[in-house]
Chains A and B, each alone.
Chain A
Amino acid sequence: MKKTQYSKFAAILSMLVLVGLGALCLNQTVSAAAEGSIAGTVKFSGTAPHMRGIDMSKDPYCVKQHENSPVNLENIVVGSDGGLQNVVLYISDGLTGNEATAVPSTQPTFDQKGCQYIPHVLAMDADQKFQVISSDQTTHNIHPLPNAMTGNIPWNKSQPPGAPPIVTSWKTPEMISVKCNIHPWMHGYFAVVKGPYATSDKSGAYTIHGVPPGSYTVTAWQEELGTQTAKVTVAAGKPGSADFTFKGK
């Protein structure tokens, strides 16, 4: 009798310890994620390259959406202050433990609006769910072209007006170009990375959240200008910083 009581007590105690330890671990991650970040600006030096105007005459609906505001290609978008938009920033080295494997629960959206992809470059974590929606009253076709050898499987789906969102994810980090088979000018990217990431805004500014203290290599990727890297250190309570400058060809 006595022996069983002891083992019961031991079992309850060890469970309590386990639960406590688990809670402690979770708590640590949460606080670390909340405090650390890497911020900076991406600039373009030199004369911004000429971006061709887009001729949408194939589809009168698309032409109508831009009657008073002609659109140009978005391969290199430079702001008035030299800020470079649509650059994807991610940690290519230095991540350990949870931050490398944790998948964000947020669901980024890739919209088809005015026969353009919004955003032009959508960054996401591997295995993170994202959705493709259409705000247009014309049928679109979403055709991502990953390298099948990476484990990402190419697909090709149509989305007529009012169709439900396509919710899916990518398995492996890769910069995947996306096109529309109906509107040949529609081109964009799914930038699939591992770990925390950010995309530069109109002024070229970015902030990667959820980075615990440590030393990292940050990579900046631009679809035409390539990649750049920088070493960054994040200390407790002190965010890291890295600025990048891409030169014109």
Chain B
Amino acid sequence: MAKFFAITIIVIAIASAIPIVRHTWDPPANISTHGALIDEQTSETMAEAGISFVVSQILLALFIWKFSNPRPGDKIKTFPGGAKAMVWAGFLLVGTEVLALGIFGVKAWAEVYFTPPAADAIPVQVQAGQFAFYFRYPGPDGKFGPAHPELINEGTQNFFGLDTDHDADSKDDIVTAEMAIPINKEIHLLMHTKDLGHSFYVPALRVHQDFVPGLDLSLHFTATKIGKYEIVCSQLCGLGHYNMKAYLEVMSQEDYDSWLKKQAALQ
């Protein structure tokens, strides 16, 4: 029985490693400037964690194979140095691994979170709410008008609570249901949620950031490939969560300019 169990463990460990090694479920091709670093970090993490996983499973199987049927009179062997030494050894092993991943990952993390966006980055505001994303562009004046939460009204499509009668900066703001951006231009994404926790996840962009109620968060990225990509919410946010999505369209500069004009006319 013990031998059968040991073999089962090895079979499961190897079978689960096959699709990872063969890249069966790879994410969509990266379309951002920072994505390559993230991909590198992901594969390093996968390799480190994967090797540790397979090795530990093989060790587990070996121990079961060898020590599961002790004969009467066999002495119980302990880890050299006892339990305390074993905990320390485990701690050091896992700690080194996590620390190493952290050090390797600093560059990818810093690129996204510690570097400020370029001065000429295009600001786009995204607002999450049950169960849709809405986007706001500042218009020709380059300024977002203030948002008045008490004026938010889906019935009149005032999703951001803008007071265009009184706020000069709000008058030319453009509110859209899809996000269009020009190719090879840095985007400064300003994120806030109108109700509860949501997430802004664009797999192809390698951008995945939670919305936190009460916090204004920001991200910056540059898309390098024209196309239409899905933006999805990845935080379970209620009954309609499965349907909370929007589209990101990466366009040429000319297409983007005419799209913006068309959207301005719809306001």
Interface membership of chain B positions 251-266, coded 1 if the CB is closer than 8 angstroms to chain A and 0 otherwise? 0000000000001011
For A75, what are the chain B residues with a Cβ–Cβ distance below 8 Å?
155-156
Q: How large is the interface on A (under 10, 10 to 19, 20 to 34, 35 or more residues)?
A: 20 to 34
A58 to B157, Cβ gap below 8 A? no
Partner of A139, one of B129, B134, B243, B246: B243
Partner of B157, one of A57, A70, A73, A156: A73
Known: A53-B266, A187-B154. A156 touches B239 (CB 8 A): yes
In whole Å, how far is B203's beta carbon from the nearest beta carbon of chain A? Answer: 18
Known: A58-B177, A182-B243. A52 touches B155 (CB 8 A): no
For B156, what are the chain A residues with a Cβ–Cβ distance below 8 Å?
52, 73, 75
A55 to B177, Cβ gap below 8 A? yes
A179 to B16, CA, bound (A): 45
Interface membership of chain A positions 179-201, coded 1 if the CB is closer than 8 angstroms to chain B and 0 otherwise? 10110110100000000000000
A55 to B240, CA, bound (A): 19
Known: A156-B239, A181-B239. A58 touches B132 (CB 8 A): yes
For B172, what are the chain A residues with a Cβ–Cβ distance below 8 Å?
none
Known: A58-B177, A75-B155. A52 touches B266 (CB 8 A): yes
Known: A53-B266, A57-B246. A187 touches B155 (CB 8 A): yes
| Pair count A-B, CB < 8 A | 57
A19 to B19, CA, bound (A): 83
For B133, what are the chain A residues with a Cβ–Cβ distance below 8 Å?
58
Output the nearest chain A residue to B157 by Cβ-Cβ distance: A52
A185 to B154, CA, bound (A): 6
State which residues 135-184 of A face B: CB under 8 Å.
139, 141, 156, 177, 179, 181-182, 184
A187 to B156, CA, bound (A): 9
A181 to B176, Cβ gap below 8 A? no
B240 to A181, Cβ gap below 8 A? yes
**A11 CB-CB contact with B under 8 Å:** no
**A54 CB-CB contact with B under 8 Å:** yes
Partner of A184, one of B132, B245, B266, B267: B132
For B239, what are the chain A residues with a Cβ–Cβ distance below 8 Å?
141, 156, 181
A55 to B176, Cβ gap below 8 A? yes
**B131 CB-CB contact with A under 8 Å:** yes
Interface membership of chain B positions 153-176, coded 1 if the CB is closer than 8 angstroms to chain A and 0 otherwise? 011110100000000000000011
B240 to A182, Cβ gap below 8 A? yes
A75 to B267, CA, bound (A): 15
For B246, what are the chain A residues with a Cβ–Cβ distance below 8 Å?
57-58
Interface membership of chain B positions 210-251, coded 1 if the CB is closer than 8 angstroms to chain A and 0 otherwise? 000000000000000000000000000001100101110000
Q: 14 A–B contact pairs at CB < 8 A?
A: A53-B265, A55-B176, A55-B266, A56-B177, A57-B178, A73-B156, A139-B243, A179-B155, A181-B130, A181-B131, A181-B240, A182-B131, A184-B159, A187-B155
Q: Which 5 A-B pairs have the closest CB atoms?
A: A53-B266, A57-B178, A55-B177, A187-B155, A57-B177
Q: Please give the residue numbers on chain A whose beta carbons come within 8 Å of chain B beta carbons, in ascending order.
A: 52-58, 70, 73, 75, 139, 141, 156, 177, 179, 181-182, 184-185, 187
Given contacts A55-B178, A182-B240, 16 further A-B contacts (CB under 8 A): A52-B157, A52-B266, A54-B157, A55-B266, A57-B176, A58-B246, A73-B156, A75-B155, A75-B156, A139-B243, A156-B239, A181-B239, A182-B243, A184-B131, A184-B154, A185-B154
